[in-house]
Chain A
């Protein structure tokens, strides 16, 4: 259900250009999703080989971001998109920035996995990593789904999940701190888990941003920072 009628321009080339940036963005999204999954698994299994792979693939994500960015700029210069076309280009251009950041966070988690593989596993925190990890992976998946289907309702529903992630992150934080106070010898290893949790929480924030871009794309409303501005 393509509500934006991307394929109905008089210029077929324009249809293709717009399709292309959307497809490339979703392709980049797929790769980023895989990175997040791999990074979490590397951390859980203290698998430094998998972690190295995540770090390697990260540069591919950076390249994709630059490629898509350039395609967007060219499209603006050549086609002067307006209305929903303009919103699509803007939304893609913002979403790839969020995806790239998610890639960075995955890389950070992979680095923590390498530390843990070298220093020995942390005494606690894996349950939390698994739980929050699953939540943010689902959020990321849902946000990309909402983008591909231009579904603003689904995007808003996904945004709500970020609230749960934030709460879980805070409670995990408290638990880790309590444990570190009880057993100061584990602080260094526990900190690695903490940083990974922090990265996961950030991934949730970026997935929420992608949802905001979807709402802008579909409905033409900017809903960012609403809780600060109040209603408009």
Chain B
């Protein structure tokens, strides 16, 4: 009986090996990102996305979904287009004259590049946190309340107070600043400033938060706090994070997307990407095999 099982297993393994190679050895760009770029419940969907700066094409035919309450990390060498792609999904690229975005990008099924879509309203739903903390030269309170005021989210002062407190709480900053809300935001430490920016982003109740290397200017402790925050925020928000730190991608994200010279090469569960990536280029990048 046991021997029979052993034989069967060995045969089964042999068949599996022949039919399915877990590791793909190819350095060519795949026509479609390999792995699992699509999800069942997409918050945002990007189809056939090309981005150009003038004549130069920066993004080539990218197809990917961002799932509800998912943290997706985008990694890749400098100039691979991950930031360009991130900035396309809340129309931050509109501010760059030479930049053109083609393809279909939707948020809850709505085309975000349609004439009906107001970019300011879109950016309220899809917030952004930048590489360098950039608080307004105003008080901590005003930094957080600026957005809600602008979008008319609060009619009374008490409501505004509540939004400010809740946002600072969620950003893990409340305890540190509650006694000095009237002091300038620029007087905080780098890590605190970045959490202030996150509080500012979530004050207007966005649905998606885009983070463009949010920790690259921070020390390890401040980085750990932001990463902890990302895990907590993913309960309520959908998060896309661009990072140069592969360990950070491995720590915070559910799925990881690998970009290479404007092509989306592989999207897979983070665990898979960091233990057994499917594409040779992904493998080469995350193991530090090319520059």
Residues of A within 8 A of B (CB): 3, 5, 8-11, 14, 80-87, 152-153, 156, 159-160, 162-163, 166-167, 215, 218-221, 223, 226-227, 231
Contact = CB atoms under 8 A, between A and B. Distances in A.
B5 A86 contact: no
Interface stretch (B18-26, B43-51, B103-111, B224-232): B18-26
Interface string B27-56: 000000000000000000000000000000
Interface residues of B, number: 33
B14 interface: yes
Contact of A226 (B12, B275, B288, B289): B12
Query: Top 5 A-B pairs ranked by shortest CB distance?
Result: A220-B276, A227-B9, A219-B22, A220-B22, A160-B10
Interface of B: 2-3, 5-10, 12-14, 17, 21-23, 25, 246-247, 250, 273-277, 282-284, 286-291
29 contacts: A3-B25, A8-B289, A8-B290, A82-B274, A82-B286, A83-B273, A83-B275, A83-B276, A86-B274, A86-B275, A87-B275, A87-B276, A156-B13, A159-B10, A162-B6, A163-B6, A163-B10, A166-B2, A218-B23, A219-B17, A219-B21, A220-B275, A220-B276, A221-B22, A226-B9, A227-B5, A227-B8, A227-B9, A231-B12
A82 B249 CA distance: 12
A156 B17 contact: yes
DSSP majority for the A interface? helix
B23 A220 contact: yes
Given A84-B283, A220-B275, A10 B288 contact: yes
B259 to A, nearest CB: 17
B6 A227 contact: yes
A86 B12 CA distance: 27
Most chain B CB within a 10 A radius of its CB, from A86, A159, A163, A215: A163
B10 A156 contact: yes
